[in-house]
Amino acid sequence: MDDKISLTEKLAAFSDHFSPKTIGHLNDYKLLLVKVKGEFVWHRHEKTDDFFFVLDGKLTIQLRDRNVELSAGELYVVPRGVEHCPRADEEAHVLLIEPVGTANTGDAGGPMTAPDESL
């Protein structure tokens, strides 16, 4: 990747929710954009932390013992093994950084597991 990336252009290229799109790589990690609206599935990632950086809107990371409320410009890292469920009442745009091969649904699997798509 030797060209700059416009997050605005990449976000304009898709409209589906909870379907992260790879926009680049950093060593063995993927840089992904996702649009969140509604509630995802409760899940955990046993071998990796989960990084959420809100670009636009508001995102709630539901944990079993509390909620983490994020606004644009804020980030949160869910520690590995911690069950969580992202939710947004209105559409939020989020940057994710995760190891290559990490399923968005973690241990939950199911129909919300997104295919590996690049923009």
Q: pLDDT for 70-118, tens place per residue?
A: 999 999 999 999 999 999 999 999 999 999 988 787 788 887 788 888 8
What's the rounded Cα separation, in Å, for the pair 116 and 113? Answer: 10
3-state secondary structure 22-66: EEEEECCEEEEEEEEEEECCCECCCCCCEEEEEEECEEEEEECCC
Q: What is the pTM of this model?
A: 0.92
Q: Render pLDDT for 36-55 as a digit per residue (tens, 0 to 9).
A: 999 999 999 999 999 999 99
How confident is the model over 27-34, as a mean pLDDT?
96
What residue spans define the domains of the chain? 7-105
Q: Render pLDDT for 53-65 as a digit per residue (tens, 0 to 9).
A: 999 999 999 999 9
Q: How many other C-beta atoms are found inside a 10 Å radius of the C-beta of residue 2? A: 3
Q: Taking a C-beta distance cutoff of 8 angstroms, is the pair 104, 16 a contact? A: no
Domain 7-105 in CATH 2.60.120.10? The answer is yes
What's the rounded Cα separation, in Å, for the pair 105 and 102? Answer: 9
